Every structure is written in structure tokens, then in C-alpha cells.
Amino acid sequence: MTVVKDESGREGTDDKGDMPGGDDSYAPSERRLERERHKRARARRATAIAAVSTLVTAVVLYVVVVSAPGWERTKETFFDGHYAREAFPKVLEGLWLNIRLLLICGVLVLVLGMLIAVARTLRGPVFFPLRVLAAAYTDFFRGLPLIINLMIVVFGVPALRLQGVTVDPVWLGGTALTLTYSAYVAEVFRAGIESIHPSQRAAARSLGLTNRQALRHVVLPQAVRRQVPPLLNDLVSLQKDTGLVSIGGAIDAVRASDIIAQRALNYTPYIVAGLVFVALTIPMTRFTDWVTARMDRQRAQGGTT
């Protein structure tokens, strides 16, 4: 605020400096400017070091691999451009089966895993047999290797010659994947349910909710929200393991590459299939990391429980 005099000599005030358009604009101190310059310099230095380190590592790996005695033979066997171009469209065609398996089995795994987890957390002696069966299910299928489970289902079910039961390796392979991954997901859900403090359920009961309503409206929403990152990790693993249905003869990306490799006696199609799976998995993995970091920030700020 500035004191001024008008033409008659009376004193007054000039509020121009206090207004947004006045002359009192903010100017950072020299110390702050120096600190920001230092931060930018450190960031540029760190980026340069990382780039140089990455380049040196890549060059060293390239030299080590290329200078190996068997590199020429390995290059012909695993990195042949002709067979890569031949296998790529076939692998993509088979990948559509893997994607469909991921979508269908993923939904079934989430539903079945939730039901098993709820069964394991039911209270009261009347539910004791259900809790035992749910625990036995998770213990058995978590301990049984997936590849053995696939072989038992894909080859054992057709051998029974049951009426009305499919012998399609795609459906049988999907069933085996669902059985195994439901056990893992059930434990993820159960951990989330048991992480909810008992006071949450007690508060819901005090408001007049039944046990089922408290579980549905209070416990499960919080439990699922807490367990989103590990659930996404399980789905990433499921996406990769859909390639195992090829052991029953299903023509997926892995089987398509295997057919070309066996015919050409060249392993380049396997590399192509592997790179396709990696390209499909990386976005899911990065999305999982982003969700995890976002939820961590929200917890740190008190945004979620």
C-alpha cells in the first residue's frame, strides 16, 4: 500500500500494488533458483550416466555373444529371418486362442477364487465341512504342478469316455488352468478378507446389517481393493501359462511355432512366439506396477484403507 497526495494536497492510499495486476509480483529468491538449477543439473547428469551405462552394457553383451565360437550356428538356428517371417503370421493366429483363454479363464478364476475364499472364511461350526473342503482344494491344487494338472485333465478325462463330456483340448486345458489358478487367487482373496479389521464387521453389524450384508457391502469391497496388485500379477502369470494348453494339441501360439520348427528343423519360430508373449505381457506388467504405485500413494495420503 502506497501513500499518495491528490491535487488539493490531501493524503490517500494507492492499492494498486496490492491488486493482482499490481507491481508486487512474486519473484523467487536467488537461493531457490540456485537449488532448482542444481536439481536440473543432477537430473541431466543422472540421465547421461544411465544412458552411457546402458550403451556400454549393450556393447559388452553384443561383443560377448557375437564373438562366441558357436554364434554363427546359433544365429542360423535361432535367428533366421526367413523362418521368422514365415512363423509370425501363424503365431499371431494362434495367439488369438491364448487371448480368448485368458479372458474366459480369467473371469472364471476370479469368480471361483472368490467363492472358495468366502467359504474358507465362513464362521460357525455348521460351515466346518465347507471350510475343510475349501482348504483341501487350495492345498491340493497349489501343491500340484500345473503341467501335471494339465496332463491329467487333458489326457485323463477323454480316457474315461464319459457321456456328454467334451474331449476338446482347448476346453480341457482351460479347465485345468482354472482349477490351478483358482486356488492361488482364492488365497489372495482370503488374505484380503482377513486383513480387514474386525471392527469393520462389528460396525456394520451395529448398523443393522446381517453377516452376509456386512461381508458383501463392507468387507469384500475393501478386501478386493487391497488385493488388486497381486490379482493382476496372477493374471499376468495366467496369460503366459495359456501356452501350456499346446501339450494337448491345441493350436495356440506355442503349438503353431512348434509345428513350423519341427518341419523346418529350426528354432526361430520359438523365438518369435516368445517375443510375442513378451510384447503382450509387458503392458500388463507395467499397468500392474502403475496400479500398485497409485494405491501406495493413496494409502500414504489416507485415501484408501
Report pLDDT digits (tens) over 115-172. 999 998 888 888 889 999 999 999 999 999 999 999 999 999 888 888 888 888 999 9
CA–CA dist 145, 138 (Å, integer): 13
Whether residue 218 contacts residue 209, with contact meaning beta carbons closer than 8 Å, is answered with yes
Tell me, what's the pLDDT at 103? 93
Helix spans in the chain (H): 30-66, 71-78, 81-121, 128-143, 146-151, 157-160, 169-195, 198-206, 211-214, 220-226, 228-241, 253-264, 268-300
Cα–chain center distance at 30? 46
Grid cell for residue 66 = 557375437
Tell me, what's the pLDDT at 17? 47
Q: Which residues are 14's β-sheet partners?
A: 2
Tell me, what's the pLDDT at 12? 52
Whether residue 54 has pLDDT greater than 70: yes
pLDDT digits (tens, 9 = 90+) for 163-175: 888 888 999 999 9
DSSP 166-202: ---HHHHHHHHHHHHHHHHHHHHHHHHHHHS-HHHHH
Tell me, what's the pLDDT at 195? 84
Span 86-107, average pLDDT: 92
Whether residue 183 contacts residue 116, with contact meaning beta carbons closer than 8 Å, is answered with yes
Q: Give the range with max mean pLDDT: 11-20, 21-30, 235-244.
A: 235-244
Whether residue 207 has pLDDT greater than 80: yes
At 297, the pLDDT band (50, 70, 90 cuts) reads: confident
- Backbone dihedral angles phi then psi of residue 55, each to the nearest 5 degrees: -65, -45
CA–CA dist 84, 260 (Å, integer): 10
Whether residue 290 has pLDDT greater than 80: yes
At 23, the pLDDT band (50, 70, 90 cuts) reads: low
Span 277-282, average pLDDT: 89
Neighbours of 118 (CB within 10 A): 20
Entry pTM: 0.76
Q: Which DSSP letter does residue 210 get?
A: -
At 27, the pLDDT band (50, 70, 90 cuts) reads: confident
CB contact set of 248 (below 8 Å; sequence gap of 6+): 150, 154, 155, 169, 170, 172, 173
Interior CA angle at 156 toward 154 and 161, to 5°?
105
Whether residue 199 has pLDDT greater than 80: yes
CA–CA dist 53, 44 (Å, integer): 14
Distances (CA, A) of 104 to 139, 184, 242: 24, 17, 11
Grid cell for residue 223 = 478386501
Grid cell for residue 260 = 513350423
Average pLDDT value over all residues in the chain:
85
User: Which of the pair, 152 or 196, is modelled with greater confidence?
Assistant: 152
Q: Which residues are 4's β-sheet partners?
A: 12
Work out the percent of the chain whose per-residue pLDDT is above 70: 91
User: Which of the pair, 114 or 219, is modelled with greater confidence?
Assistant: 114
Whether residue 275 has pLDDT greater than 80: yes
- Dihedral sign, Cα of residue 7, residue 10, residue 16, residue 17: positive
Q: Which range has the worst mean pLDDT, 103-107, 172-176, 259-263, 286-290? A: 286-290
Tell me, what's the pLDDT at 134? 92
Neighbours of 261 (CB within 10 A): 20
Whether residue 298 has pLDDT greater than 70: yes
Neighbours of 43 (CB within 10 A): 10
